[in-house]
């Protein structure tokens, strides 16, 4: 789809006018020039709704780690604890790792740590992919580049009638359409249009400022094509080793839930276990059912034991929270 320079200017004007009237201007990461706060919002908003981030996580995290330096100097356990409940804990680990790198670079230069302003340098940091780098560059440093989150992808697919998009194709379309003179307002508007008008179901095409160039407006829900994936089911046997009214937890070292504390998963529970029932939890790529077993030890055979009060200070996953609640319900009924 070819768009002349004059038509592109008209489209950009319509987008800016729409954003001025309908944009979500009061979001806290849109009212700051602090690259750290903008970067934090971009990481938190990956796979997470704006409402969830805004109401429960963004401000408490900043209260604990108000600056890039504070985050980089903090222990990982404290960072994971503040991230608890937000999920996708690799985001928090990479955020912390990148902050530490920037703090060390700042110390070498003898200056305060700061994020780089160009996309290539941003993408060298842990956890910063192509879209996050573009978002930080556009929003924190007003670089003339587009962003490519889920809402923008959907808009581009509909504009160009793309059923099965690929990244190279979409980035080319994104760069062709971006308003290089007003990248901040343009990109924020595109995300808001996707979130409020060009929605997955029942899009409000008649109110969209892009309707004049949308090739998919006759059948927008066709683009992109929906891919239905069967979610696999997994089962695990979890043993709560209890000694002197304390429970054993292990700190995970694998890629999944790395750094979090949790109850031990075993292939075969000890024979003398008491069965407490099961809890289920849905992750993005699978559903997990945990069969919970309680084993009272006469001598301490595990490495770490914690009281209930101590466990509440640890960073644990949602499924381990559910397991703990099942245990507390069990002992309260005794």
Mind spelling out the 3-state secondary structure of 139-207?
Answer: HHHCCCCCCCCHHHHHHHHHHCCCCCCCHHHHHHHHHHHCCCCCHHHHHHHHHHHHHHCCCCCCCCHHH
Selection from 232, 261, 272 nearest residue 323 by Cα: 261
Find the catalytic residue in 17, 42, 297, 309.
42
Q: Is 42 a catalytic residue?
A: yes
Radius of gyration of the chain (CA): 24
- Measured between alpha carbons, how far is 281 from 56 in angstroms, rounded to an integer? 20
Span between the terminal Cα atoms of the chain, in Å: 70
What is the DSSP pairing of strand 264-266 with strand 261-262?
unpaired
Residue matched to tokens 């009924």: 333
Q: Which residues pair with 247 in a beta bridge?
A: 242, 306
Task: Tell me the catalytic residues.
Answer: 42
């Amino acid at each position: 789809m070819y768009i002349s320079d004059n038509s592109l200017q008209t489209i950009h004007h319509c987008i800016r006018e729409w954003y001025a009237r309908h944009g979500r201007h009061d979001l806290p990461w849109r009212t700051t020039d602090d690259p750290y706060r903008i970067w934090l919002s971009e990481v938190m908003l990956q796979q997470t709704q704006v409402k969830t981030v805004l109401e429960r996580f963004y401000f408490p995290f900043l209260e604990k780690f108000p600056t890039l330096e504070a985050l980089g100097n903090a222990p990982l356990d404290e960072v994971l604890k503040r991230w608890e409940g937000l999920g996708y804990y690799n985001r928090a680990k990479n955020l912390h790792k990148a902050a530490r790198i920037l703090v060390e670079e700042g110390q070498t230069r003898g200056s305060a740590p700061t994020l780089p302003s160009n996309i290539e340098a941003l993408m060298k940091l842990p956890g910063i992919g192509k879209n996050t780098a573009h978002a930080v560059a556009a929003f924190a440093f007003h670089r003339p580049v587009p962003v490519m989150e889920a809402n923008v992808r959907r808009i581009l697919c509909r504009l160009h009638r793309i059923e099965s998009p690929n990244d190279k194709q979409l980035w080319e379309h994104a760069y062709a359409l971006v308003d290089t003179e007003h990248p901040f307002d343009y990109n924020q508007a595109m995300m808001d249009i996707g979130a409020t008008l060009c929605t997955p179901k029942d899009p409000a095409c008649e109110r969209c400022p892009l309707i004049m160039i949308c090739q998919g407006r006759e059948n927008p829900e066709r683009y992109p094509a929906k891919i239905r994936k069967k979610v696999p089911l997994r089962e695990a046997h979890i043993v709560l080793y209890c000694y002197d009214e304390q429970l054993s937890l292990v700190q995970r070292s694998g890629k999944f839930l790395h750094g979090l504390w949790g109850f031990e998963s075993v292939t075969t529970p000890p024979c003398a276990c008491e069965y407490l029932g099961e809890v289920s939890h849905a992750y993005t790529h699978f559903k997990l059912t945990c069969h919970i077993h309680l084993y009272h030890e006469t001598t301490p055979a595990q490495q770490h034991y914690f009281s209930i009060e101590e466990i509440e200070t640890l960073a644990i996953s949602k499924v381990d929270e559910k397991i703990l609640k099942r245990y507390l319900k069990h002992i309260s009924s005794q």
